[in-house]
Amino acid sequence: MELGFVGLGAMGQVIVPRLLTAGHTVTGWNRSRDKAAALIEAGMRWGDSPQAVAEKSEIVFSVVTDAKAVRDIALGKHGVVHGLRKNGVFIDMSTIAPDASRAVAAEIAKAGATMLDAPLSGSPVTVKQGNASLMVGGDEKAFERVKPVLLTIGPKVTYIGAKGLACQMKICVNLLLMVEVICFGEAVALAEKGGVARETALDAVLKSVAASPVLGYRGPFILEGKMPAKPLADVTLQQKDMMLALELGRTLGSPVPLAAAANEMMNACRGLGIDHRDFVTAHEVYLRLGGQMK
């Protein structure tokens, strides 16, 4: 198929090659063309704007940072909406508030096209491994039409329901993931305080019933010299999603006390100036609070 991809950041860099490998034609755009160089060399075509990308595509994907960025690339002066074909499908994979996604979808519908919210659960590592999962919200017929393409991105594709519900589910999944990773730091720091070597504590966790995929690839980052220079998701990015969870809880009247506690540990990371690191760095906050490091 002729596909478009808007936003070639960390996720776009690993998703586009999977689409190309599956035999699709992909036209891409990013605010900074430099980020597209390797993808262009791999066979991706370049579009001069989101509108230009849409004009050349049957399905247009996007992955950008926040709701403002989604509105800009979708509805702006040269946005996707101005180039989408009649009955075209715009698939936004960003993690944004459900109401923000619904508002953009309503404008896309006025243009005679369909928008699906399809946030991806996983990191660039899991996408590369072929283990990412996608949650999809919106028109079910449109979902069935694009599902074969989605399966080239990740093998686990779940239809959640009406517009915006996939965004809501992604926020809930990220809440769980963030609390789990923060609690991992708490548990390991407690074990260390009692005399267990960090390497031993990590090994024990990863061999226990508490082990999970996210701890499997993030846990080792807490070992000496293992924190990646380029984080999978830094504290600032993850805290953006945590704030979405807290706001969703407030809006729906559903308590999220563990999310609030985990968010405070991210605030502590910011206060200590380590928020540029992968958010598993919250382990260091526990060490400092416990007097195990200065």
Question: Is residue 135 situated within a structural domain?
Answer: yes
Per-residue confidence (pLDDT) for residue 123, from 0 to 100: 86
Kindly state whether residue 294 falls inside one of the protein's structural domains. Answer: no
Domain co-membership, 240 together with 145:
no
Structure tokens, 179: 């609390």
Q: Are residues 131 and 16 in the same domain?
A: yes
Same domain? For 174 and 268 the reply is yes
- Is the model's pLDDT at 155 over the cut of 90? yes
Q: 29: closest CA among 8, 3, 15?
A: 8
Separation between Cα atoms, residue 110 and residue 104, nearest integer Å: 10
CATH code where residue 158 lies = 3.40.50.720
Q: Does residue 228 carry a pLDDT above 80?
A: yes
Q: Are residues 150 and 10 in the same domain?
A: yes
Same domain as 12, residue 151: yes
Tell me the whole-structure pTM to 2 decimals.
Answer: 0.93
**In terms of domains, do 153 and 210 share one?**
no
- Give tens-digit pLDDT for 179-218: 999 999 999 999 999 999 999 999 999 999 999 999 999 9
Q: pLDDT grade, residue 294 (50/70/90)?
A: confident
Rounded mean pLDDT of 75-104?
A: 96
One-letter amino acid for residue 100 of the chain: A
The label of the residue with tokens 């049957």 reads 58
Judge if 214 and 261 occupy the same domain. yes
173, 279: one domain: yes
Show which of 144, 162, 180 is a domain's final residue.
Answer: 162
If asked whether residues 27 and 116 sit together in one domain, one would say yes
127 pLDDT tier (thresholds 50, 70, 90) = very high
Same domain flag for 142 and 13: yes
Residues contacting 162, CB < 8 A, separation 6+: 137, 138
pLDDT in tens, 29-40: 999 999 999 999
Across the range 135-143, mean pLDDT stands at 97
Residue 125 has pLDDT above 90, yes or no: no
Q: 228 in a domain, yes or no? A: yes
**pLDDT tens-digit map of 60-86:** 999 999 999 999 999 999 999 999 998
**Residue pLDDT, tens place only, 243-252:** 999 999 999 9
Residues 122 and 205 in one domain: no
pLDDT band at 4 (very low <50, low <70, confident <90, very high): very high
- Token couple for 191: 């074990």
Q: At what angle do helices 98-110 and 165-193 cross, to 10 degrees?
A: 150
In a domain, 254, yes or no: yes
Closest residue by Cα to residue 179 from 245, 126, 224: 245
Q: Give the structural domain span for 106.
A: 2-162
- Out of 162, 182, 207, a domain closes at 162
Tell me the pLDDT of the chain averaged across its residues: 96
Residue 77 located in a structural domain = yes
CATH number at residue 280: 1.10.1040.10
In a domain, 62, yes or no: yes
Give 54's pLDDT tier (boundaries 50, 70, 90). Answer: very high
Both 153 and 267 in one domain: the answer is: no
Out of 162, 187, 211, a domain closes at 162
Q: Which residues contact 255 (CB under 8 A, 6 or more apart)?
A: 249
Give the residue from 169, 93, 91, 90 showing the smallest Cα distance to 127: 93
Radius of gyration of the chain (CA): 20
Asked whether residue 38 is assigned to any structural domain, the reply reads yes
Determine the average pLDDT of the residues in 21-26. 97
Percent of the chain with pLDDT over 70: 100
**237 — phi, psi (to 5°)?**
-65, -45
Q: Please give the tally of structural domains in the chain.
A: 2
Domain-located, residue 139: yes
